[in-house]
Amino acid sequence: MKLTTTSRCEAGLQRGMVLITTLLLLIVITILALAMFRGVGLENRIAGNALDKQRALQAADSAQQYAEQWIVENVMSQTPVDCAGNPGSTAAIEICTEPLANEVANGQVATVPWYINSVPVGASYNPGNVVTTSTSGGTTTLYGLPVTYIGELGTDATYANATDYVVDAWSYGGSDDTVAVVESTYQIRRYVASATSP
């Protein structure tokens, strides 16, 4: 029977190899852990940005729906005005004689805030003064109030008793980096009731 013996020199080399292998594994695990934590932080930022975008979109959509309802309630008592000749009305909604795309520079409705002749245009929307704004942003505030603009497109080509309007609205989210712009075409038909004889 043959006995094999290991010299002290070979045993020392093996112990050193275990140490090096363990350190390499520790480095790999550390790198994986750091990558995982970085990925979680990125996912949180993406989720926050998506939430902010939704807030901006909902605020703009709310302003747009308000303007559409305003048309229904006020179209008979309002005469369209030349908003290019008198821009800057932000206190009250009014019907402008031209769509916004015809009035702003290069028809760029997506560029906000809207300007006509270097003056801001559109009516701010704050129902019941419940929307809070803050230039420092936040999760419960908007960077600025939503803004809406109503432009008259004219008599509808299909219906003689109908007038078409274009309603534009935009809003910030919690910061000035997040903006949503929405647009709709709205039609009002006027019917005249005729009296019938018995």
What gap in Å lies between CA 20 and CA 2, rounded to an integer? 32
Pick the range with the lowest mean pLDDT from 44-48, 65-69, 82-86, 181-185.
82-86
Q: What is the mean pLDDT of residues 48-66?
A: 92
Phi, psi of 48 (to 5 degrees): -65, -40
Instruction: Give kind and range of the element (H or E) at residue 139.
Output: none
Mean per-residue pLDDT of the chain:
84
| Residue 159 pLDDT | 83
Is 2 inside a domain boundary? Answer: no
The answer, yes or no, to whether residue 167 has pLDDT greater than 80, is yes
The answer, yes or no, to whether residue 143 has pLDDT greater than 70, is yes
What gap in Å lies between CA 122 and CA 168, rounded to an integer? 9
Q: How many domains does the chain have?
A: 1
| Residue 132 pLDDT | 86
Instruction: Give kind and range of the element (H or E) at residue 119.
Output: strand 119-120
| Residue 87 pLDDT | 58
**Which of 63, 54, 61 has the alpha carbon at shortest distance from 125?**
63
Task: Please check whether residue 120 is in contact with residue 114, taking contact to mean a CB–CB distance below 8 angstroms.
Answer: yes
| Residue 66 pLDDT | 94
The answer, yes or no, to whether residue 198 has pLDDT greater than 60, is no
| Residue 166 pLDDT | 95
Is 168 inside a domain boundary? Answer: yes
pLDDT grade, residue 168 (50/70/90)? very high
**Which of 103, 55, 66 has the alpha carbon at shortest distance from 184?**
66
**Which of 55, 51, 67 has the alpha carbon at shortest distance from 147?**
67
Is 172 inside a domain boundary? Answer: yes
pLDDT digits (tens, 9 = 90+) for 32-41: 888 887 777 7
Percent of the chain with pLDDT over 90: 36
The answer, yes or no, to whether residue 160 has pLDDT greater than 70, is yes
The distance from CA 130 to its chain's CA centroid, rounded to whole angstroms, is 19
Is 160 inside a domain boundary? Answer: yes
The better pLDDT of the pair 105, 183 is held by: 183
Tokens of 166: 């274009």
Residue 157 belongs to what domain range?
A: 32-189
Is 20 inside a domain boundary? Answer: no
The answer, yes or no, to whether residue 13 has pLDDT greater than 90, is no
Tokens of 187: 């039609």
Pick the range with the lowest mean pLDDT from 64-68, 86-90, 115-119.
86-90
Is 5 inside a domain boundary? Answer: no
The answer, yes or no, to whether residue 138 has pLDDT greater than 90, is no
Q: What is the SS3 string spanning 40-89?
A: HHHHHHHHHHHHHHHHHHHHHHHHHHHHHHHHHHHCCCCCCECCCCCCCC
The answer, yes or no, to whether residue 129 has pLDDT greater than 80, is yes
Is 197 inside a domain boundary? Answer: no
